[in-house]
Amino acid sequence: MLAGPRQDASHNDIAAIRDFTVVRHNGEWQVYATTASPSKGWNLAHFAFPDWAQAANARHTFLDTASGVGSGYRAAPHRTRSAATPATRPPGRDRATS
């Protein structure tokens, strides 16, 4: 297993981790993922490591307590746009009409 659910003092019943987003930045793999727990529901976690062999042991940082996001799951990747992830056009629309 490359990466599984990891616990910390505030997140001691993480049951699953999924929906990985992976980016290489400053010599490390940066991973964001969705976690699920019976007590807290859905959450977002981040972990980083230089080599895939270290992924399973990387410390998870949960975004509900480590950022201003707060509790609850607030991801809507289909509604965001950036230079790295440009919006896609609906089927049937070409560049000339968008």
Task: Provide the H-helix boundaries in the chain.
Answer: 63-66
- CB atoms under 10 Å from CB of 62, counted, come to 21
Is residue 1 within 8 Å of residue 56, measured between CB atoms? yes
Tell the burial category of 70 from Cβ atoms under 10 Å away from its Cβ (0-12, 13-18, 19+). exposed
Write out pLDDT tens, residues 7-58: 888 888 989 988 889 999 999 999 999 888 898 888 888 999 999 999 989 9
At residue 2, does pLDDT exceed 80? no
Q: What residue spans define the domains of the chain?
A: 1-66
**Residue 74: what pLDDT?**
58
| pLDDT category of residue 88 using cuts at 50, 70 and 90 | very low
**Residue 4: what pLDDT?**
80
